[in-house]
Amino acid sequence: MAGILDRINQPNDIKEVSPAQYNRLAKEIRHFLLHRVSEHGGHLASNLGAVELTMALHLFLDFPKDKLIWDVGHQAYVHKILTGRKEGFYSLREYEGMSGFPKRKESECDAFDTGHSSTSISVANGLVSARELSGGDEKIVAVIGDGALSGGMAMEALNNVGKLDSNLIIVLNDNNMSISENVGGMANYLAKIRSNAAYTGFKGGLEEALNKLPEVGTKIVRRLKQSKDSLKHFFIRGMYFEDLGITYIGPIDGHDIEQMRRALETAAKMPKAVLIHVVTKKGKGYEPAETDPGKFHGVEPFALKTGEVLRPSTGVSYTKMFSDTMLELGEENKKIVGVTAAMPTGTGLMAFAKRYPERFFDVGIAEEHAVTFAAGMAAGGYHPVVAVYSTFLQRAYDQILHDVCIGNLPVTFAVDRAGIVGRDGETHQGVFDLSYLAHIPNLTVMAPKSTVELRDMMHYAASCNFPVAIRYPRGTSEDTDGLSVEEIRYGEAEVLESAGNHIAGKAVALVAVGNTVALAYKLKARLEAEGISVSIVNARFVAPIDESTLLSMAKNHDVVVTLEENVARGGYGERVSALFMEENVNVRHIAGAISNQFIEHGGQQTLRDLYGLNEDELYQRIREVL
Ligand SMILES: Cc1ncc(C[n+]2csc(CCOP(=O)(O)OP(=O)(O)O)c2C)c(N)n1
């Protein structure tokens, strides 16, 4: 029997579905999501929780005229299903396939590209102001999770939208979870509203009863509602938002489509910002995800029956090594503290959090605050390790520069997911960190060639009384694990292979940053088979660069090739090139890096091949120069 979902093939088709069939459609959508995500991997739990919410929004809005902005965007799968993109789920997050996030170039129903958290209210605010100036009448809705609401930008936007005298609807999708447990005062406040709502019957009853009392009762109710005392909070939930000038509606059941439709219709009538607080269950409808929403926030392909990941990664990942080393550092040095911006699991800090809860700080999705908080702790005599993904640290550039580096404070940045991360795409690739970090005075920037070296670098950084950033990639380092690890000395590269006596032939120096050391070894094998001598240098330090090793390589080789998984502009290669220019060194230099562009989604190796960070292409470039 054909399903209802078969009839949903383009935007607004859902409006033809009768209310009696909504629940069945929700079931079919969950079934579709579960099958596609279990095959391809992707964000699951948030999407399962947002099925009815998205349906209600699609019944209410007119696409593409109206604008719907998804915060983070990882929960927009149902929106994609309802806007004619079911087919895309068969190539979800694959190269040239459908993105896992909203993309304006993918559909005119995607009002804004997202990926990083806490931007939706600002975007919606801007769209409302644009609508006012252009005289439009489209509806504008931002959907933000309780986790994303912990971000500073969301708070800044709330601060601003209170003064709007034009309609803006903010749907707060409160599932009581970030990726892990949500943290902070706002999370506690929302929890309070939710639990107060459990007394709705009582409060409603009390209010109704008072209202029924002639004169006096109605007056009491009015007075209570007007007063600024705490009793008002008892009657009117969401006072925090109300006091900011934002009308609060809720909390309402985020799995009840009719209730949400009514709330949206009511909200649309108000000439101001309105926040609708909906309560949903993360992972709804799939038991393993309801029980462990963190695991199913973003998953690799898994067996539907059991929820087990199909191809669990083998070997020790950089993240695991970071995690284990934090336990060692925590034991050795009581001044070490761990800081995360809502990513205790992804960064590997969870083990430290469990063993040293008093020295662990999850500050919410607030990278800027995390960095300045760490600066404060460092000023207070501690040595914070801020564990953060390269892409999210972009947010905290000024905090690193202004709050940590000007004061030369001992903060270690553990910059995970540096380089090409793969399937999350343009918003998540970590290919800019060398460019935005290495030029900051006082900041030492390092990159390990293997997990073993990451451990050493962390011990080294923990012994420094100045700021250090260590950037390392997603995945493991099996190829380079066995390579020698010399003691780390400040600013010194590690010469792994020397070309030796090459008077008769040509010689190439491969100077590799971090995980590109493995690539250097592949190139070496190929070049040496042709009689070309090859040296390999593990750069180790990107700031400061090891000038003396680089100059001696330039002197003794015909070509110097730098390798890095970072954009070329502002990267290691450019720094080396500048050194050669300043020192008047006449050597051919090939900069192996990612050309300056945003890198779409796809498998890590596919993207490395595509963007020239592979053996064949570099081999060709070297041959041409030789
Ligand atoms: C700036 C930034 N930091 C971290 C993340 C990683 N991240 C993606 S989703 C998420 C949790 C979002 O929680 P919430 O808004 O409540 O949505 P839910 O997944 O619970 O539906 C985090 C921390 C991000 N996308 N952007």
Q: Which of 367, 453, 497, 564 is catalytic?
A: 367
**Do the beta carbons of residue 101 and residue 74 sit within 8 Å?**
yes
pLDDT at res. 213: 53
Output the CA 145–ligand 1 centroid distance in Å: 8
CATH for 5-299 is 3.40.50.970
Quick: pLDDT tens for 548-557. Answer: 999 999 999 9
Task: Looking at the CA of residue 75, tell me the nearest atom of ligand 1.
Answer: 21
Torsion of Cα atoms, 197 then 199 then 201 then 204, to 10°? -80
Instruction: Give me the pLDDT at residue 501, please.
Output: 56
**Mutate which of 365, 369, 428 for ligand 1 pocket (most atoms within 8 A of beta carbon):** 365
Distances (CA, A) of 486 to 29, 456, 575: 55, 10, 24
Task: Give me the phi and psi of 157, to 5 degrees please.
Answer: -70, -40
Which of 63, 69, 282 has its CA nearest to residue 171? Answer: 69
The reported pLDDT for the residue numbered 219 is 66
Contact between residue 370 and residue 396 where contact means Cβ atoms under 8 Å apart = yes
Distance 370 CA to ligand 1 centre (A): 15
Which residues of the chain fall below pLDDT 70? 1, 197-236, 501-504
Task: Tell me the pairing of strands 360-362 and 412-416.
Answer: unpaired
What angle, 0 to 180 degrees and rounded to 10, lies between the N-to-C axes of helices 516-528 and 615-625? Answer: 50
Give the Cα separation of 392 and 416 in Å (integer).
10
Q: What is the pLDDT of residue 312?
A: 79
Calpha distance 581→602 (Å, rounded): 37
Q: What span, in angstroms and rounded, lies between the C-alpha atoms of 335 and 385?
A: 10
SS3 track for 540-565: CEEECCCHHHHHHHHHHCCEEEEEEE
Catalytic residue among 80, 282, 423, 449: 282
- Distance from residue 46's CA to the centre of ligand 1 (Å): 10
Q: Nearest C-alpha to atom 19 of ligand 1 is from which residue?
A: 46
Residues touching ligand 1 (Cβ under 6 Å) are 46, 72, 74-75, 116-117, 145-148, 173, 175, 177-179, 282, 341-343, 365, 367, 392, 395
Measure the CA–CA gap between 55 and 255, rounded to whole angstroms: 10
179, 182, 186, 296: which to mutate for ligand 1, most atoms within 8 A of CB? 179
The ligand 1 atom at the shortest distance from the C-alpha of residue 146 is 16
Residue owning the nearest CA to atom 23 of ligand 1: 342
Task: Name residues whose C-beta falls within 8 Å of residue 409's C-beta, 6 or more positions apart in sequence.
Answer: 375, 378, 379, 403, 466, 467
φ/ψ of 161, rounded to 5, equals: -75, -15
Q: Which atom of ligand 1 has the smallest separation from the CA of 46?
A: 21
Ligand 1 atom closest to Cα of residue 343:
23
pLDDT of residue 315: 87
Choose one of 48, 72, 181 to mutate for the ligand 1 pocket test, by most ligand atoms within 8 angstroms of C-beta: 72
Q: What dihedral do alpha carbons 165, 169, 174, 180 form, nearest 10°?
A: -90
CB distance 41 to 301 below 8 Å: yes
Best CA proximity match to 175, nearest among 251, 286, 263, 230 = 251
Ligand 1 center from residue 117 Cα (angstroms):
6
Q: Which atom of ligand 1 lies closest to the CA of 297? A: 19
367 assigned to active site = yes
- CATH pick for 318-480 out of 3.30.1360.120, 3.40.50.970, 3.30.390.10, 1.10.3720.10: 3.40.50.970
Buried/exposed 119-158: b ≥16 CB within 10 Å, e otherwise: bbbbbbbebbeebeeeeeebbbbbbbbbbbbbbebbbebb
Nearest-CA residue for ligand 1 atom 21 is 46
Cβ 429 vs Cβ 471: under 8 Å: no
Q: What is the pTM of this model?
A: 0.94
* Structural tokens at position 459: 């011990």
- List, by residue range, all CATH 3.40.50.970 domains of the chain: 5-299, 318-480
Pocket test for ligand 1, best of 37, 117, 347 (most atoms within 8 A of CB): 117
199 near 171, Cβ under 8 Å? no
Determine the 3-state secondary structure of 53 from DSSP.
helix
Q: Are 48 and 289 in contact, with CB atoms under 8 Å apart?
A: yes
Distances (CA, A) of 223 to 156, 202, 218, 219, 334: 32, 19, 9, 6, 55
Catalytic residue among 395, 455, 471, 474, which? 395
| Sheet of strand 588-594, all strands in order from the earlier edge strand to the far edge | 494-497, 533-538, 507-512, 559-567, 588-594
How many angstroms separate the CA atoms of 336 and 624, rounded?
50
- 506 belongs to the catalytic site: no
CA 116 to ligand 1 centroid distance, Å: 8
Topology of the domain covering 495-625: Rossmann fold (3.40.50)
Nearest CA among 383, 336, 625, 393 for reference residue 509 = 625
Quick one: CA dihedral 206, 207, 208, 211, positive or negative? positive
Q: Give, in degrees to the nearest 5, the angle at Cα 137 between 131 and 138.
A: 85
Q: Is the peptide bond before 19 cis (omega within 30 degrees of 0)?
A: no
Query: What is the DSSP track for 313-379?
Result: PPS-BHHHHHHHHHHHHHHH-TTEEEEESS-TTTTTTHHHHHH-GGGEEE--S-HHHHHHHHHHHHH
Nearest C-alpha neighbor of 141 from the set 53, 208, 254, 31: 53
Q: How much distance in Å is there from the Cα of 287 to the middle of ligand 1? A: 22
Q: Which atom of ligand 1 is nearest to the CA of 177?
A: 20
Q: How far is the CA of 473 from the centre of ligand 1 (A)?
A: 20
Which ligand 1 atom sits nearest the alpha carbon of residue 342? 23
| Ligand 1 center–CA 346 separation, angstroms | 11
Instruction: Give distance in angstroms: CA of 278 to centre of ligand 1.
Output: 17
State which of 146, 172, 178, 424 you would mutate to test the pocket of ligand 1, scoring each by most atoms of that ligand within 8 A of its C-beta: 178
Residue span(s) of the chain under CATH 3.40.50.920 come to 495-625
